[in-house]
Amino acid sequence: MTGAESVPPTSSPPGDLPTPDRADGRNATALAKAALTVMYRVDSTSDTGLRDAKLRAARYLTADYKAEVATEPVQYIPEEWRRHRAYIAVHLKPIQPEEGAPSDGATTAYRQWQLRTTPTGRDGWRGDPHNFVVYMELTRSSRHAPWRVSNVSAVNDN
């Protein structure tokens, strides 16, 4: 099996992860939020790293972007997180597009988010939060097709 064919992990971290039936594929913002929540909710008890969480979001991604994610290097979870059985608490806030950002079209949409990730132990431990600005591109094959994430770029904002 090649990386592009690998099956996403089946276990889900704690919390209210969006499910495909609750993520409205007709709404670019709702789909983007669901995808980011799943993509960054890493769980030290079931994941080897961020790529596992991103692959769990495969249902929200275009085929090309899913293949790209599948070839990303594994980013291993720190041992401290494992000791605390930590997962990443994800907090998202939409932000206005920067001046000069492209406008949405019938089959392409752009979203920007303030993302805060906080390692959170099941024993009450909390790691240092990390802040990012996330730029997303979403596409669909026609005006009536569901949106899918075609690109995500996260810039450290600490």
pLDDT in tens, 27-86: 999 999 999 999 999 999 999 999 999 999 999 999 999 999 999 998 899 999 999 999
CATH 3.10.450.230 fits 24-156, yes or no: yes
Domain range summary for the chain, segments of one domain joined by +:
24-156
pLDDT in tens, 126-150: 999 999 999 999 999 999 999 999 9
- Residues 6 or more apart whose Cβ sits within 8 Å of residue 104: 28, 110
Residue 73, CB-side half-sphere exposure with 13 Å CA sphere: 2
pTM for this predicted structure: 0.86
